Amino acid sequence: MGRLEGKSVIITGAGSGIGRAASLLFTREGARLIAVDRTEGVQETVDQVRKAGGTAEAVMADAGSEKDVIAYIDKTLSTYGKLDAIWANAGISGGLVPLFEQTVAQWQEILRINLIGPFLAIRHGAPIMQRQGKGSIVCTASVAGLRANAAGSPYSASKAGVISLVQTAANALTGSGVRVNAVCPGLIETGMTQPLFDAARARGAESRIGQLNPTERAGQPEEIAAAALFLASDEASYVNGQALAVDGGLSSTLPFKTQRR
């Protein structure tokens, strides 16, 4: 029996990176998946899942659109008959535009996808789980929502908002059997961060990637997927309203530099 055996699960942002890694891991653990992304990469993810023997359906949708959120939840119910877990993972970075060069439009789009998207997943997914008496919602936040200087201002603000959202939502759902938690990735090699990794390798500085955390390396999408798998599963039945940092220890301390001999 897999850790998600027989569970009906939605993962947004499933077209690449962490979302794709999670789609493969969750279905290996028995989940029946609705993979959601606004890019055609979501079909490639589903093809990989099916090739590996898993069960999945692809839905192209915008995670920050209420109409699309309602549609992907309806698709889950019509396909699998229930909804056990959602990982609201979709997000955009917005780049590293200096604070005083950022526009309201940039902030609105980042907040729409990164923060309103998880709110909509909770808003429309949790009532179904309440009627079932049980469910888990996982949202992707970031260490950028815990500490400054990990990303640009709008991205960081959106992820701090996600952390607050899971705390307030968990309490709003008191006694319902529905848990809401966040996973906070550190520096992970994905399409979003690829330019940073490519630039470091071009400078011959690959060994310095992730040097500020005590594990002294960057993370991989599969490591974030494993943490979210735990939160989505019944193994985390007493974990609620939490923001789990998966960052090699980066957020455990203030930055410092050691002297090597």
3-state secondary structure (DSSP) of residue 22? helix
Are 52 and 73 spatial neighbours (Cβ–Cβ below 8 Å)? no
How far is the C-alpha of 194 from the C-alpha of 216, rounded, in Å? 18
- How remote is the C-alpha of 204 from its chain's centroid? 30
How far is the C-alpha of 27 from the C-alpha of 6, rounded, in Å? 10
Q: How far is the CA of 159 from the CAs of 112, 115, 133, 150, 243, in angstroms?
A: 12, 7, 28, 11, 11
**Count of CB atoms within 10 A of residue 254's CB?**
6
- In 3D space, the residue among 113, 91, 74 whose CA is nearest the CA of residue 15 turns out to be 91
Render 94-122 in DSSP notation, one character per residue.
-----GGG--HHHHHHHHIIIIIHHHHHH
Q: Where in the sequence numbering do the catalytic residues fall?
A: 155
